[in-house]
């Protein structure tokens, strides 16, 4: 069997594990569907602009983010429960294991967020549904980047027990709050200092939410430069995540533990 086929088999295993975790599916679906169908709708009654059409694409991006972050939990579990020792005994390189996890994380996030997008398309009329097909590969790279962030956290926290979830919560709160998922950039500019506004603008979650609002739902023509920005902000996270996980795996391979 070639290395590629082994990577794909390992990725498929991790991908299916994500969807087989019942409590996780219950949390994610109830959270995102209620955000979309309850919070967005009620906030719309409290505001003077159409918050529903603004927030629904944001919920799809939040779904992508949450599903991608779960990659870190699976890596952390594998390290903690010794499953990683089994993986290391398989005829696959540590590079292959890292690629498999990032691929599975990205793919799980895309499949999960696509299911949310289908619900979004039912409740919110989209002007250019086909633009989503062009966005998907870029969102996949973004999801791999986000999976990379969580892989880094898992590698960092692997020797500190439950701290992984604490790190994850801090990163989640920072990335989601400092983005345009919940509020337009014009309003953010009136409240936050310029330095933080720059961070919000460069946040890959802001870019993805904006791309979905503008290209899928508003039907504006796709700007290649904007898509390039998504890649440029996502790829470094994927590289750092891969390097951290690789270092952790190398440590386990040499010393038997972290």
Partner 1 sequence: MRNVLRLVWFDLKPEIKPPVWIFIEWFTFTMQLFIYGAIISQLVKTQAIANYQQFYAVGFVVMMTFDIGSHAGRSFVEHAHEGRLPYLLSLPISRSKLFLSITLQGGAELAIMLTVPLALTLALLGNLTAISVAAAIATLFCLGFGVAGLMLGLSFIAFKSSDMYSAIVTGLSTIIIRFSTVLYPLIFLPPGYASVAALSPLTYGADLVRLLLGFDPSMLLNPMYAVAVLTALAVCTLGLGAFLLQRLVEGVKSG
Q: Closest by alpha carbon to 150, among 247, 240, 51?
A: 240
Nearer to partner 1 by C-beta: 29 or 202?
Answer: 29
Nearer to partner 1 by C-beta: 2 or 48?
Answer: 48
The reply on whether position 118 binds partner 1 by CB under 8 A is no
- Min dist CB 158 to partner 1, Å, is 16
Nearer to partner 1 by C-beta: 45 or 89?
Answer: 45
Q: Per CB under 8 A, which of residues 128..167 are in contact with partner 1?
A: 162-163, 166
The reply on whether position 90 binds partner 1 by CB under 8 A is no
CB 147 within 8 A of CB 109: yes
Q: Rounded distance, CA 54 to CA 178, Å?
A: 16
- Min dist CB 33 to partner 1, Å, is 9
Could you give the 3-state DSSP secondary structure of residue 113?
helix
Q: Per CB under 8 A, which of residues 183..212 are in contact with partner 1?
A: 183, 187-188, 190-192
How far does the chain reach from its first CA to its final CA, in angstroms?
30
Kindly state the DSSP code that residue 178 receives in the 8-state scheme: T
Q: Rounded distance, CA 121 to CA 192, Å?
A: 32
CB 112 within 8 A of CB 200: no
Nearer to partner 1 by C-beta: 2 or 45?
Answer: 45
Nearer to partner 1 by C-beta: 42 or 129?
Answer: 42
Instruction: Specify burial of residue 26 (Cβ count, 10 A radius: 0-12, 13-18, 19+).
Output: exposed
Which positions lie near partner 1, rule CB under 8 A?
Answer: 22-23, 25-27, 29-31, 34-35, 38-39, 41-43, 45-49, 51, 162-163, 166, 169-170, 173-174, 177-178, 182-183, 187-188, 190-192
């Amino acid at each position: 069997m070639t290395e590629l086929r082994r990577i794909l088999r390992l990725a498929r295993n991790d991908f299916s594990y994500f969807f087989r975790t019942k409590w996780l599916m219950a949390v994610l679906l109830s959270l995102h569907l209620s955000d979309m169908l309850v919070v967005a709708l009620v906030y719309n009654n409290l505001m003077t602009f159409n918050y529903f059409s603004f927030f629904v694409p944001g919920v799809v991006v939040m779904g992508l983010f949450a599903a991608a972050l779960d990659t870190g939990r699976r890596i952390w579990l594998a390290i903690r429960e010794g499953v990683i020792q089994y993986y290391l005994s398989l005829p696959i390189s540590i590079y292959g294991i890292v690629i498999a996890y990032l691929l599975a994380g990205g793919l799980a996030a895309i499949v999960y967020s696509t299911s949310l997008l289908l619900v979004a398309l039912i409740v919110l009329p989209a002007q250019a549904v086909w633009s989503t097909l062009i966005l998907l590969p870029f969102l996949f790279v973004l999801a791999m980047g986000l999976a990379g962030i969580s892989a880094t956290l898992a590698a960092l926290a692997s020797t500190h027990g439950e701290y992984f979830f604490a790190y994850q919560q801090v990163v989640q709160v920072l990335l989601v709050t400092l983005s345009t998922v919940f509020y337009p950039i014009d309003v953010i500019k009136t409240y936050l200092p310029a330095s933080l506004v720059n961070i919000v603008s460069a946040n890959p979650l802001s870019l993805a939410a904006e791309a979905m609002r503008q290209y899928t739902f508003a039907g504006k023509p796709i700007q290649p430069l904007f898509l390039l920005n998504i890649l440029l902000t996502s790829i470094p996270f994927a590289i750092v995540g891969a390097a951290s996980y690789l270092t952790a795996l190398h440590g386990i391979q040499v010393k038997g533990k972290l």
